[in-house]
Amino acid sequence: MYDVLILGSGPAGLTAALYAARGGKSTLVLGGTTLGGQMAGIATLENYPGFRGSGMQLAEFMADQAKSFGAEIKFVSAAGIAGDCESGFAIGCDDGQTYTGRTVIIATGASPRRLDIAGAREFMGRGVSYCATCDGFFYSGRNVMVLGGGNSALNDALYLADLANKVTIVYRKSEFFRAENVLRERVAARENIECLFNTDLERISSMPDGENGELIATTTDGRDIVVDGIFVAIGHEANTDYLTEDVSRDEMGRLMPEKMPDGVFVAGDVHSGVKMQIATAVGTGCTAAMDAIAYLNAKK
């Protein structure tokens, strides 16, 4: 039985692993399918203090640092949590194994919110994408659309503008209220980015002849825009589907630490009431690990 089981290998989970292992606690990270969570898909980090590079580079550095103090990382995903602080927690995973721990830190983060309109599911992976850094290369020299108006959407648009012929941003509000000013200025300065405000996507369909795999993006104000790819950045949803319905969640589906069972702690984007930033994920990961250490020490 491990002292600390950590669900998730994003910045919160890896920070928690570093602190827990360095605190002398046997630590296992159940890291999901890939290292780094959403951070791994960031091409260039500009607002994480003291570091400039890709998100994957930072994730690898964090993982190596945690492992240097004895933390273990397995790339499996939790399918459920059973047990309690007295008998220990049992985490069933998609590899068919069950891992047990005296405490659990939930740092499973959030995933991009899926677009729920006609054609969105049909063209998923065939023109509709939720990851610009993953799929942007396939649209070099072509015309693409970005749906959304927050930091993620504008970062995606700027990344794609370096690859694509033209980027069209579609946003349902009158301006980018939620995005940082520096991103708004950069978008405005790019000649191959066009912004369409006060409209949204109504449906996605293919060209009648299917030529070149182009799509028709129909907006709510009646425009048909022909594009090669559509990148969706309309927010995130907490990754908590593996938890039972009796676990308290806020209106965004995120977890409230004060309502978790004894011995269960929360960190990162799945944590209620915190900004979804790498810096805040690191802070909550540190806090969760220190709380878990104090909890374990008090049980001795």
SS3 54: coil
Catalytic residues: 131, 134-135
Looking at this protein, which amino acid is placed at residue 16?
A: A
Angle 116-274-91 (CA atoms, 0-180°, nearest 5)?
A: 75
Cα end-to-end span (Å), the chain = 15
H/E/C letters for each residue in 154-214?
HHHHHHHHCCCCEEEEECCCCCCCCCCHHHHHHHHHCCCEEEECCCCEEEEEECCCCHHHC
Q: Which residue has the tokens 């999901």?
A: 32
Query: Which is nearest to 28 in space by CA: 12, 16, 11?
Result: 16
Residue 173 CA to residue 132 CA, distance in Å, equals 22
Q: Which residue has the tokens 């709380």?
A: 291
Angle between the N-to-C axes of helices 151-161 and 181-189, in degrees from 0 to 180, rounded to the nearest 10 = 30
Residue 120 CA to residue 105 CA, distance in Å, equals 34
Judge whether 156 and 233 are in contact, CB under 8 Å: yes
